Amino acid sequence: MQRRTVLAGLGSVAATAAQAAQKPNWMSPALPDGTRDEAILVRPPGKQSLIQLTDRPPNYETPINAFANPITANDRFFVRYHLAAVPTMEELKDWSLTVGGDAADRAVKFAMADLKKNFTQVEVTAVCQCSGNRRGLFDPHVPGVEWGYGAMGNAVWRGVRLKDLLAKAGVKSDAVEVWFAGADGPVMPATPPFRKSLPVALAQRDDVIVATSMNGQPLPHLNGFPARLVVPGWTGTYWMKHLTSIEVSTKPMTNFWVQKAYRVPAGMFPVDLPFASQNDSATWPITEMVVNSLIAAPLDGAKVGRSGFTVRGVAWDRGHGIKTVEVSFDGGKTWKPAELGRDLGNYAFRSFSLASGALPPGPCVVSARAVSNKGETQAVALVRNPAGYHHNVPQTLTVTVA
């Protein structure tokens, strides 16, 4: 596919006075002043209002109140791109997917009709979360897109197992990694194309899929149409959008996006499946998510009555599932167990709620913390790292009781 021009004016609109007044509700006060000054609510194509952090490449955050529902609607799902040359729907009309590589027995090519008719269709409900979610809340601040709480979403993904596609090509015994490429690209020739890889063992797991639908609908354009990789439990950097090429390789991938970017100090965060071919003594690639939770209601700065309010939110981890969520109404001095919502699967958001009961007038500091079925808990203090990854300190917000 030829490189295309940048999608111009992707839903960009001028900020209004009303939007500025709303910022305390849909943006955390802990974000850098420059981010709060520049971010605006826009309606990208096919979306409701999202928080625009950059428009070239398009990076749009989901407002926090969308997470009162454990399934994130397609038109409220965040958008993350590294490169500004986003393929248009017209350019994707003749889409196909190739599978091959030096560790494959043969090269094969699939059209969309092949994926729909010739393979078993499977579903997985899973959280897609940008590796840099909450980066903007780091103190001191670190460089990168200054995401708040909403660079994530939970959806029902439907498509074909990656391992079934690999089987059609044949995987040789000396395979080390599976490499992925998508149709989005750089504007300038010197910019490295965005490419990622997975260890072979993960690529052949039953729940890693090439998704063609999201919440019962075709993938939205800005969320990877017509097909994207879904890697439950791993951060969104591996969920390649507009997927066009899969290569089974006898060697590790070597490019900027795996050797320099998306790395953390070695052993800093827990993982179940080490990415051994990409680990070194100093750094590891960021891979699996950490246990976390989010309060979606009430919003920070809200005013509530003395009869109290109900806290609603979601919790998630890298695939062990959520065991408990506790909520505090006094700034973390005491905690009460929340009621968990329906279990949608270990890779999905688990909703929670808890009524506060009657409260005295004045400020009420609310927080939530989650524990996974493996016994992992949210961090007591921020685990600092150069790229601002894995911020999972319990969220704190203040409401006024009047």
CA 244 to chain centre: 21
Statement to judge: residues 277 and 373 lie in one domain: no
Residue 374 lies in a domain: yes
Tell me how far apart the alpha carbons of residues 314 and 325 are, in angstroms, rounded to a whole number: 9
Please tell me whether residues 303 and 392 are part of one structural domain: yes
Q: 10 Å Cβ neighbour count for 234?
A: 28
The gap between the terminal CA atoms of the chain, to the nearest Å, is: 60
Q: Would residue 141 count as lying in a domain?
A: no
Which residue from 80, 90, 67 is spatially nearest to 155, judged by alpha carbons?
67
Q: Is residue 45 part of a domain?
A: no
The answer to the question of residue 268 being in a domain is yes
pLDDT in tens, the chain (402 residues): 343 433 434 443 333 334 444 555 677 778 888 888 889 999 999 999 999 999 999 999 999 999 999 999 999 999 999 999 999 999 999 999 999 999 999 999 999 999 999 999 999 999 999 999 999 999 999 999 999 999 999 999 999 999 999 999 999 999 999 999 999 999 888 899 999 999 999 999 999 999 999 999 999 999 999 999 999 999 999 999 999 999 999 999 999 999 999 999 999 999 999 999 999 999 999 999 999 999 999 999 999 999 999 999 999 999 999 999 999 999 999 999 999 999 999 999 999 999 999 999 999 999 999 999 999 999 999 999 999 999 999 999 999 999
Question: Taking the CB of residue 374, how many other CB atoms lie within 10 A of it?
Answer: 15
Which pLDDT score, from 0 to 100, does residue 25 have? Answer: 67
Half-sphere exposure of 37 (CA within 13 A, CB side): 3
Which residue range(s) make up the domain with 372?
292-401
Domain boundary among 252, 285, 318: 285
User: Both 207 and 296 in a single domain?
Assistant: no
Report the alpha-carbon distance of residue 98 to residue 127 in Å, rounded: 26
CB 390 within 8 A of CB 269: yes
Counted domains in the chain = 2
Domain co-membership, 173 together with 258: yes
Residue 89 exposed, middle or buried by CB count within 10 Å (0-12, 13-18, 19+): exposed
pTM of the shown model = 0.93
CATH number for 334: 2.60.40.650
Tokens of 294: 């989010």
What is the predicted pLDDT for the residue at 29? 78
Q: Cα separation of 297 and 314, whole Å? A: 10
Query: If we measure between CA atoms, which residue out of 142, 145, 135, 136 comes closest to residue 52?
Result: 145
Q: 202 and 241 in one domain?
A: yes
Say whether both 278 and 305 belong to one domain: no
pLDDT at 38: 87
